[in-house]
Amino acid sequence: MRASAAFVVMSTPTNILTDSSWLSRADQGLGKIESALAALGGASIFLAMLISVVNILGRKLLNMPIPGYVAVMQQLVPLMAFFGIAFCQRVGNHIRMDILVGRLKGRLLWVFEWFSVLLAGLLTTALIYGSWDHALRAFTLGDTTDDLQIPTWPVKVVVPIMLSMLLVRLVLQLLAYSRAVQHGGDQPVAVPLIEDPEAVAKNEANTALSMSKD
């Protein structure tokens, strides 16, 4: 049954419409977790930047680079790359063929999006299996970095966990697109809507203004 509540545009870079349905509430609840993980990913990028600056200054000024710098950066890279992967899927910031997809309308568009998300889900499932096997092998063998002897399995296990979060998001979007195919229309909830460059710029400006006021 279609919910009767009015749609609301969330303050994100892309339009994600909401209503009172369980699907929309699930999207918003999962989105809070994804936003927190994305923030952790941003924090890891900031930490990597600080470590790099300290390493460069230490090397140039004191001839004392950070011991095990390469190993530390290797541990941070998966955090930077994967903590925000589900959040990017939610807001539609992964690479998309908008030039082609943007020309489609109505149910045809939602069918196309449904199959795209299905293929992404199948690929993600395969990646979860492979990355989990890789992390388990590192744990079993006691794999460590060469210099500081840091165990590699904790960081490697981040990959299948974050990919599992992505898979949950993809399943939710599959349900949302299924609902859109069933009901038609051009404003489904819980999925990122395709916007033209003008709308994207306007939403980003509104988001920046709302953050500055807070």
User: With pLDDT > 70 as the criterion, what percentage of the chain qualifies?
Assistant: 85
Which one-letter DSSP state was computed for residue 189? B
Per-residue pLDDT band at 212 (split at 50, 70, 90): low
Single-letter code of the amino acid located at 10: M
pLDDT at 190 over 50: yes
Which residues are CB-neighbours of 152 under 8 A, at least 6 positions away?
A: 75, 138, 143, 144, 145
| 195 vs 93: CA distance, rounded Å | 12
pTM, rounded to two decimals = 0.85
Tokens of 120: 């992404």
pLDDT of residue 204: 65
pLDDT of residue 6: 34
pLDDT of residue 211: 52
Taking only the tens place, the pLDDT of each residue in 124-150 is 999 999 999 999 999 999 999 888 899
Which residues are CB-neighbours of 198 under 8 A, at least 6 positions away?
A: none
Between 35 and 96, where is the model more confident?
35
Location of structure tokens 């925000």: 84
CA angle, residues 151, 37, 116, in degrees to nearest 5: 105
Average pLDDT, whole number, for the chain? Answer: 86
Per-residue pLDDT band at 183 (split at 50, 70, 90): confident
Taking only the tens place, the pLDDT of each residue in 43-67 is 999 999 999 999 999 999 998 999 9
Per-residue pLDDT band at 208 (split at 50, 70, 90): low
Which one-letter DSSP state was computed for residue 95? -
Q: What residues does each domain of the chain span?
A: 20-196
Per-residue pLDDT band at 11 (split at 50, 70, 90): very low
